[in-house]
Amino acid sequence: MHGSFSSSMTIKLGHKFVLLSFSICIFLTNCETRTEVSSVEQKIPDSTYLNHSDSARYVGMNTCKLCHQGIYNTFINTGMGKSFDLATKSKSSGDFKNATFFDKENDLHYKAFWDKDSLFIKEFRKGKDTTCQRTEQVNYIIGSGQHTNSHIQNVNGYLNQMPMTFYTQKQKWDLPPGFEKGMNSHFTRKIGLECMSCHNAYPDFVLGSENKYNFVPNGIDCERCHGPGSIHVNQKQRGIKVDTSKQIDYSIVNPSKLPIDLQFDICQRCHLQGNAVLKNNHSFYDFKPGQKLSDHISVFLPKYKNADDEFIMASHADRLKQSACFIKSLEKLKTKDALKPYKGAMTCITCHNPHVSVSEINDSHFNDACKNCHYSGGTSELMCTEKSVVKAGNSKKGHDPYQSVNCVNCHMPSSGSIDIPHVTVHDHYIRKPITKKEKDKIKEFIGLYAINEKDPSAKTKARAYIQQYEKFEQNKAYLDSAKKYLSSKTKEDIKANFQDLIQLSFMTQNFKQIISYVETIGEESCYKQLNNLSYNNKDAWACYHIAEAFYNADQRKRSLTWFDKACTLAKYNLDFKIKFGTTLAQGNLMKEAEQQFLFVIKENPKKASAYTNLGYLKLLQEKEMKL
């Protein structure tokens, strides 16, 4: 029986790439008709927001619109407001006249089509092969349609990305990002909390799972930038009013009242997508607007020499901060203005109104932002040196040539990102156009660097290198770098870095080293230590890796103990359950194995490996009965 059962997981590989229910009385009257109170009466320290409290709850966008209808009406048409929704014809941006493409790496064809009001994706091979044919319904569409529409399937709360994306700029159907170059994961790519927490309002994620949700909202909402609104709503219901032209309302965060670094951190939470390393015991739920992002998450990106022209799609904040425009603007920063401490400096909202869709704003709005610093009307000295501008100025007497300049086209050119195919975005590194000679220079990897933190800890750096290998690029040099930052010289070192050392050893398949770490600490002590439930299942994964180490050392009894522990800590990680079941079956514990497979099938009826393993189990049982 050894090796006959299939397991869908040997090495955990990621991919590129709580809305709490709170009932409130909706007998709200206009917030502006209530009694005014001073900041003294609020009894709030200058730097503290009430909605940072654990008692603050998310109330949802429909509550916000009761007082802020106008902002709501424009926001729902922004890229954020349209980021995620049910798969409907009104939500989809796809062209279904020719919604097909061919994945030549896997010899698979794909077709998207509507059947009445339901959207489906079909995967198939042409010719005599009728076995490889699968049609699945799309439940959600992710992406506003400005760049892409990708598609999500929901099976009993388990969300997976489907293998078709529509790229709106090129009006092209193709594989989603990360599915290319033979990496097509079909209908099985898990949509975890990290992905969902940037592309949507906060969901209700099931603890102990990788991709199961009790509830998924329909788009990014107000509270992702303003923080939970329950305290703010409660104060307005009680008649507490603050004159925000004179002081800050500390019941909720207004990003425009924040210092420049904290304002950036709100945008950077999602527009700084890279290798996001959580700090100890933190989750992707924990950051709230007005807090330091680096207290919760450090975001790393690979640094290359001679690669200034390359960037990922969601790297706007990092690119902007490299610009001379931004750096010089800091000299004008008027931090003494308590109501606008970022005033004078360049931030995201210098050009972008988060409540209004970019599609509703013409180019002159963005070019005018440039002219605020680079132009004074009526000057005879033109700061733009393009010959075409000079010609335009000479074409008509009295014409202001600067009005015809499109600063963005030259200094923030559109180009493809290195992580998303068929998409062009404006590079937010504002500078003079670089020459082809500069672009053609040989690129040299320098290392990973934290974009939002100056001096991350050694453990944080180690985790960054481990995750870079795990999620983005299987280059063993990353693991070598991680090892340098994780000390294992003493028992105390091993205990302090235990989960990370276990994960690192698992990545290199060094099972003997894992067992050595366990025996150094003591297996019973390790078993007691790894007992935390968390949204990233860190302790559960450590238990799973230890189980795999004992399994590969042919110590099946010990491996079963650790597989059981992993499944206890992460009850809804179905891959854990399947591996536990196969190991039980190999130990002739057929009834217990069957229970694991049946649990998986009940949870996710589309989990193919559960059926194949259960079928093989039944076949063995039938043979034994005949004997």
CATH value at residue 500: 1.25.40.10
Q: What are the strands of the beta sheet with 275-278, ordered from one edge?
A: 275-278, 297-305, 444-450
- The closest alpha carbon to 624, from 591, 580, 581, belongs to 591
Residue with tokens 């989990």: 607
Q: Torsion-angle region of residue 239: left (phi > 0), alpha (psi -120 to 50) or beta?
A: left
Tell whether 406 and 518 lie within a shared domain.
Answer: no
Last residue of a domain, one of 170, 192, 214: 192
Residue 438: CB atoms within 10 Å? 11
Report yes or no on 262 lying in a domain.
yes
pLDDT at 17: 33
Residue with tokens 């927490």: 197
Determine the 3-state secondary structure of 6 from DSSP. coil
Tell whether 270 and 186 lie within a shared domain.
Answer: no
Angle at 70 between CA 64 and CA 72, to 5 degrees: 45
Last residue of a domain, one of 146, 171, 192: 192
Report yes or no on 108 lying in a domain.
yes
pLDDT at 439: 65
Tell whether 324 and 411 lie within a shared domain.
Answer: yes
Q: What amino acid is encoded at 307 in this protein?
A: A
Q: Torsion-angle region of residue 522: left (phi > 0), alpha (psi -120 to 50) or beta?
A: left
Residue 571 pairs in a beta bridge with none
Residue 425 pairs in a beta bridge with 415
**Averaged pLDDT in 10-residue chunks for the chain of 627 residues:** 46 36 35 36 59 96 97 97 98 97 96 98 87 94 95 99 97 95 95 97 98 98 98 97 94 93 92 90 96 96 70 68 84 71 80 90 82 64 59 44 70 74 80 71 78 94 97 93 96 97 98 98 97 97 99 98 99 99 96 98 97 94 70
Is the dihedral angle over the CA atoms 263, 269, 273, 278 positive or is it negative?
positive
Last residue of a domain, one of 444, 476, 496: 444
Report yes or no on 32 lying in a domain.
no
SS3 content of the chain, % helix, strand, coil (to 5): 40, 15, 45
Backbone angles phi, psi at 159, to 5 degrees: -105, 130
Tell whether 276 and 372 lie within a shared domain.
Answer: yes
pLDDT at 377: 57
Tell whether 416 and 508 lie within a shared domain.
Answer: no
pLDDT at 379: 53
Count of structural domains within the chain: 3
Pairing of strands 172-174, 204-205: unpaired
Report yes or no on 401 lying in a domain.
yes
Beta strands in 382-489 (DSSP E): 414-416, 424-426, 444-450
- The closest alpha carbon to 323, from 298, 350, 359, 360, belongs to 350
Q: What range does the domain containing 522 cover?
A: 486-626
- The closest alpha carbon to 17, from 472, 572, 482, belongs to 472
Tell whether 263 and 347 lie within a shared domain.
Answer: yes
Backbone angles phi, psi at 447, to 5 degrees: 155, 180
Tell whether 603 and 543 lie within a shared domain.
Answer: yes
Q: What is the 3-state secondary structure (H, E, C) of 491-554?
A: HHHHHHCHHHHHHHHHHCCCHHHHHHHHHHHCHHHHHHHCCCCCCCCHHHHHHHHHHHHHHHCC
Q: What amino acid is encoded at 161 in this protein?
A: Q
Please tell me the distance from the alpha carbon of residue 11 to that of residue 298, in angstroms, as a whole number.
24
pLDDT at 363: 78
- Contact yes or no for 532/566 (Cβ under 8 A): no
Q: What angle do helix axes 556-569 and 574-586 make, rounded to 10 degrees?
A: 160
Global pTM? 0.86
Q: What is the 3-state secondary structure (H, E, C) of 199-255?
A: HCCCCEECCCECCEEEECCCCCCCHHHHCCCHHHHHHHHCCCECCCCCCCCCCCCCH
pLDDT at 127: 82
